[in-house]
Amino acid sequence: MDNWREEAAAIKARLAVQHLALKALVQSHPDPGRLLDAWRNLQADSVTAAYAPAADSRHSEWLTARVQVLAEEWTQELERRRSASLAASAPHHRHRAWRPRARATDRRRPGLRRGDPGPRPPRA
């Protein structure tokens, strides 16, 4: 009786390690969008059906539903990672109103033009 409990504990431990490895992969992948696309392609691939539980299993419907839930959770995790990556790569600009660049003549006193000696002293 204890043998199946030990096997279940070993499977849970293996699953936990795989879960951590996948999280590390997702967090370190340079292109989360490409990773998400690959994940979706794998889910849609007919080869994935080969990994589905056997049809004669008593709990095959429950297990299939559980696999679906876990796959959806990973899809959401990948989408969050892609969104965070896109937000981080977006340029951060401070909003400033547009105005024309100042010219060299605009920086001097108003009314002065090039070659103009400046204001004349008042006549007495």
pLDDT in tens, 29-81: 888 889 889 988 888 776 666 666 565 656 677 777 888 888 888 889 999 98
CA dihedral 52→39→74→32, nearest 10 degrees, is 170
Given a cut of 70, is residue 109 above it in pLDDT?
no
The whole-angstrom separation of Cα 53 and Cα 82 is: 30
Residue 13's pLDDT is what?
A: 92
In this structure, are residues 71 and 44 in contact, taking their beta carbons and an 8 Å threshold?
Answer: no
In this structure, are residues 33 and 82 in contact, taking their beta carbons and an 8 Å threshold?
Answer: yes
Residue 67's pLDDT is what?
A: 80
Percentage with pLDDT > 90 across the chain: 7
Residue 94's pLDDT is what?
A: 57
pTM comes to: 0.55
Given a cut of 70, is residue 122 above it in pLDDT?
yes
